[in-house]
Amino acid sequence: MTSRGAFLNKTYNAYAHRKIPGEDIELTHVGPGTPGGEYLRRFWHPVIYMEELTDVPVATRILGEDLVVFQDFSGQLGVLEANCPHGGHSLEFGSVCERGIRCRHGWLIDVDGTILEIPGEPGNYPLEDRQFHGAYATHEAAGAVFVYMGPPDKKPPFPVFDSWVRPGYHIVAGPRYDYSCNWLQIAENAQDPVHTAFLHTIVSGAQFTEEFGVVPELDYIETPLGLAYVATRRVGDNVWLRMVDSVLPNLMMVSPVWEDGKEIHPFDGPMMSRWIVPRDDRTTLQVEFRHVSNEQEVTPHWWANRVGMPGQMPDNRTYEQRQREPGDFDAQIAQRPIAVHGLEHLATSDRGVILFRQQLRRGIQAVREGREPDGLLKQSASVIPTYANDTVIRLPEADTPGEDKLLMKETGLRLAKEYLKNPPLMG
C-alpha cells in the first residue's frame, strides 16, 4: 500500500503539498521479481500483429524485459530474450532462418531457445547440447502473437471467449499504440463509467453519442473472471443498460460506443477487446481487437476499417486542440507517468476503480502464496463467458425522479445478475 499525501484544509496552501507520496509499487511495478510483475506473468499477453512480422526480427519490450519477436521461414513463431547468449549482441540485428534465428556472430537459436549451431567450434565445445537461450511460449490468435512469460509448469490454456467465437461476427485487428504512462491508470479506466459523461461528452463534445452526456445510475458486479460496471440511463420511455468488462488482469471488453438507447434491443455483446500490456513501469502497449458483424450496417464501416476513435490514442492534434477536446490518451498520460494513489480522494463513483484494485491485490497475493490467481482459464477448450453489452428495454418513467433513479438501478442490476446466471453469448 502507498502512503498518503497531506490533506489540505486551508486555501492557498499548495506549499503543504510539495512532498509527493511514493508509488503504489505492488500494483504499478511490472519487472521480473516484482509482485505485480510475477502476477501479470501468469497470463497470456498480445505483443504484435502477425502482419507486422517480415523477414527481419522485431525488437520489443514487455513487462520490463527486452525481447525479439520473429517468424522463421518454416512458420514457427519465436519470442526470445533480445541479447544473444554468445556475446550479448542484440538479436534484433540477427538473421531469420529456415529454422530459428542466427545472431551476427553465427550462433543459430531455435524458437524454443535450443542452440542449434555454434559455428567455428569443435564438436566437443563445452556448452554444446547443454546451454539454452531464453525463450517464451507463443500462441497465434486473431492475427496476433500472444506470449506467456511465466513459469513454464504454470502455463494456462489460451483463453477462448464467447465473444470471440460469436456466430455472425469476426475479429479484426485494430490500432496498436503506445502510451507514455503506467498500465494501471489505463486499465482501471474501464471501471470509471462517469468519465464517459464528462470527458467524452460534456468536456470534449460528443465523441460517442450525445446520450453518453447523462451521468448514469451505477452499480458493479464481480464476474467469474473480473469485474463489470452496470450503468443505466433513461432515454425517453427506454432504459439503456451498459456493461463494460474488466477481465483480469489487463483485458477490457467494451460495449458499442455508437449506442444511443433509442431503439429497444437485447444484449448485443462487446465492440472491442483491448489488452493493456505493460512495456515497463512507465510505458504501455495497447493491442486492440474489434468485433465486427458479418451483416451490413450492424457495426459502422469505420470500425471495420480500423479507423481510430478521436482522443483515444496518440494523434497529430495540436496541444491546444488536445486541451480543448481531450480524450482518454490525454487524461491518462497527464496523471503522471505513474499515477500517485496517495494523492487521490476517491469518491463513491470510483467504487469500480477501488474494486478492480482489490481484485488485483488478491491475485498478487495468491501468486505470492503459491496459489492460482483468479481469472486463469483452468481447462483447455473451455469457452469463457463475457458480459460487455448494451441492452435497451422499454420501461416508462416512475412517478418521481428519486423513484426513477432507484427503478433504473434495480433494473440494471437485475439484468446483470440474469446475464451472469445465463450468459447470452454462450447460448
Q: What is the CATH number of the domain that holds 121?
A: 2.102.10.10
Hey, what's the cell of 322? 488536445
DSSP letters for 89-156: -BGGGSEE-SSSEE-TTS-EE-TTSBEEE-TTS-TT-TTTTT-B--EEEEEEETTEEEEE-S-GGGPP
Identify whether the C-beta of residue 212 lies closer than 8 Å to the C-beta of residue 206: yes
Q: Fill in the DSSP letter of residue 274.
A: E
Query: Residue 422: what pLDDT?
Result: 96
Q: Are residues 390 and 344 in the same domain?
A: yes
Instruction: Return the minimum-mean-pLDDT range out of 36-40, 115-119, 262-266, 277-281.
Output: 115-119
Per-residue pLDDT at 29 = 97
User: What is d(CA 45, CA 40) in angstroms, rounded to the nearest whole number?
Assistant: 9
pLDDT value at 384 more than 60: yes
| Cα distance between residue 3 and residue 26, in whole Å | 12
The verdict on residue 6 lying in a domain is no
Distances (CA, A) of 337 to 38, 75, 166, 180, 189: 21, 38, 37, 6, 15
Residue tagged 543459430 (cell numbers): 108
State phi, psi for 344 to the nearest 5 degrees: -80, 155
- Euclidean distance between CA atoms 7 and 426, whole angstroms: 49
Residue 197's pLDDT is 63
Q: How many CB atoms lie within 10 A of CB 88?
A: 9
In the predicted model, what is the mean pLDDT of the chain?
A: 90
At which residue does the C-alpha cell 503506445 appear? Answer: 178
- Residue 369, pLDDT score: 96
Q: Are residues 181 and 144 in the same domain?
A: no
Judge whether 340 lies within some domain.
Answer: yes
Residue 180 structural domain: 160-426
Give pLDDT tens digits for 322-379: 777 777 877 788 888 998 888 778 888 889 899 999 999 999 999 999 999 988 776 6
Pairing of strands 144-148, 108-109: unpaired
Q: Look at residue 250 and tell me if it is in a domain.
A: yes
CA distances from 295 to 115, 258, 307 (A): 49, 16, 19
Residues 124 and 232 in one domain: no
Answer with the one of 153, 186, 215 that is the final residue of a domain: 153
Name the nearest CA neighbour of 288 among 309, 268, 317: 309
Q: How far apart (Å, rounded) are the C-alpha atoms in residues 59 and 83?
A: 11
Q: What is the average pLDDT across 210-220?
A: 86
Q: Look up the pTM and report it.
A: 0.92
Strand 238-247 and strand 389-394: the pairing is antiparallel
Alpha-carbon distance of 187 to 339, in angstroms, equals 12
Q: Are residues 263 and 119 in the same domain?
A: no
Q: What average pLDDT does this structure show over 197-216?
A: 70
pLDDT tens for each residue of 74-98 = 999 999 999 998 888 899 999 999 9
Q: Are residues 407 and 291 in the same domain?
A: yes
**Which secondary structure element, helix H or strand E, spans residue 319, and what is its range?**
helix 319-324
Please report the sign of the dihedral spanned by the C-alpha atoms of residue 385, residue 142, residue 61, residue 318: negative
Question: Considering the domain boundaries, does residue 29 fall inside one?
Answer: no
CB under 8 Å, gap of 24 or more: what pairs does 23-26 form? 23/338, 23/340, 23/341, 24/341, 24/342, 26/1, 26/361, 26/364
SS3 157: coil
Does 166 lie in the same domain as 272? yes
Q: What is the pLDDT of residue 372?
A: 93
> What is the Cα–Cα distance from 390 to 87, expressed in whole angstroms?
55
Domain membership of residue 410 (yes or no) is yes
* One-letter amino acid for residue 163 of the chain: S
- My answer on whether 232 and 284 are in the same domain is yes
Q: What per-residue confidence (pLDDT) applies to 18?
A: 83
The answer on 202 and 141 residing in a single domain is no
End-to-end CA distance of the chain: 42
Would you state the cell numbers that stand for residue 36, as one nine-digit string? Answer: 505485480
Rounded-to-integer distance, Cα 244 and Cα 372, Å:
25
Residues 284 and 190 in one domain: yes
Alpha-carbon gap, residue 159 to 111, rounded angstroms: 22
Choosing from 128, 153, 178, the residue where a domain stops is: 153
Distance separating alpha carbons of residues 295 and 427, to the nearest angstrom: 20
Grid coordinates representing 424 are 447470452
Domains of the chain: total: 2
Examine the domain organization and report whether 104 and 198 are in the same domain: no
Query: What local confidence, expressed as pLDDT, does residue 128 receive?
Result: 57
366: nearest Cα among 42, 24, 64, 25:
42
Same domain, 188 and 121: no
Question: Domain end: 111, 137, 153, which one?
Answer: 153
Are 333 and 235 within one domain? yes
Does residue 39 lie in a domain region?
no
CATH number at residue 203: 3.90.380.10
Q: Could you read off the pLDDT of 50-66 as tens digits, one per residue?
A: 999 999 999 999 999 99
The more confident residue out of 25 and 128 is 25
Q: Considering the domain boundaries, does residue 7 fall inside one? A: no
Query: Residue 25 falls within a domain, yes or no?
Result: no
